[in-house]
Amino acid sequence: MRRARRTRRGSGARGARGARGGRPRLKQVGGKRLPARSSSARDAKRDAEMVRLNKFLADNGVASRRRSDELILGGKVLVDGDIVTELGTKIDPRTQEVDVDGVILKSDPRERRYYILHKPAGVVCTNEIRETRPRAIDLITDPKKGRIFTVGRLDEESKGLLLLTSDGEFAERIAHPRFGVPKTYLVRIPGQITDEAVQKIREGVYLAEGRTAGARVIVKRRTANGSTLEVTIQEGRNREVRRIFVRVGYKVSSLTRTQIGPLGIRGLREGKWRALSREEVEALLAEHESLEAGAAPESLPRTPPRRGSSGAGSRGGSRDGSSGGSARSGRSARGSRSSRGARGGGGSARSSSARSGSSRGSRRRGGRRRR
């Protein structure tokens, strides 16, 4: 009986921890839960359309896409017995046979692999064979990993959560800025950050590529010696977090990615890795699908506009047609101010009457045009 009570008590605590975070707690690989070997993103695209020849070669582990292009130009790839040297050629894996140096490739490539790595500083995200620095892909010691690559990148000085896979569709859905999967970072900077700088980061700053979409910022610690912040973004441009802080006048001294979508780094020591379960893979993809369906992301609430910027906001809204009502309300407010000036008398009354006369004239002209 005591054992049963302890079990129930423990499971209840685990459920409460999952509910507190707002998302169900993801179950890791272990026990009866097997590592993922495919994803819904890949299943939806597999054998559903024509694919580029260099992508097909890369999916089969022959080489990278760039190296595959070199093999094609060198005349080493045959499709249905004919040499193909034209880049961009598409094939149907279900009906066509591809031969590379006498080896016939399968129409359905091998199973995919999905890993999570706690990347240490000093490790680079590249598949370049001639790279002399430690590579993230070399830290995955699974003998069955095959050709894998990083999902997005962390620069050499940064550390934290990094995904690696051999599934191109999955990588695109997670890493590409247009899918908006949220990524959370723990940022440490020297000195005490100001409220104005925090607000600028929340609203978005201008980088070389344009203005950022804004970020969710939580100040964890702020002293004269240094500040610690939790920053969540949904774009993932090159070195975006570091460049944002430089833009507002601060240099990042330490950057750690702690979360991608619902997947966190907690419980995984630095330099260690593990395989992802199918449930974890699908939860990451579901994060994109919820945003695509129009659901507001929990991680990036809308920040209030700056004081005195309502006029700019109404102008921006009228341009894209989403805030026409606010523009009309602005005109009515100006009209009410002019009428108050008219009651006060003097030159303001004359100016308001002139404005009202011109508005009546414009209405008459508009009426004649309509007739």
Structure-token pair, residue 251: 């240099």
Neighbours of 131 (CB within 10 A): 11
Ramachandran category for residue 152: left, alpha or beta (phi over 0 → left; psi -120 to 50 → alpha)? left
Whole-angstrom distance, CA of residue 17 vs CA of residue 77: 54
Answer yes or no: 155 catalytic.
yes
Provide long-range contacts, Cβ within 8 A and 24+ apart, for 67-71: 71/100
**Residue ranges of E strands in the chain:** 51-52, 77-79, 82-83, 90-91, 98-100, 103-105, 114-119, 149-150, 159-165, 183-190, 206-207, 210-211, 216-222, 226-233, 254-260, 263-264, 273-275
Cα 272 from chain centroid?
24
Q: What contacts 146, CB < 8 A, 6 or more positions away?
A: 61, 110, 113, 166
- β-strand pairing of 206-207 with 183-190: unpaired
Catalytic residue among 155, 167, 195, 320: 155
Whole-angstrom distance, CA of residue 196 vs CA of residue 194: 5
The residue length of the chain stands at 371
Structure-token pair, residue 172: 């695109």
Whole-angstrom distance, CA of residue 165 vs CA of residue 171: 7
Partners of residue 296 on adjacent β-strands:
none
Ramachandran category for residue 101: left, alpha or beta (phi over 0 → left; psi -120 to 50 → alpha)? left
Residues that are catalytic: 155
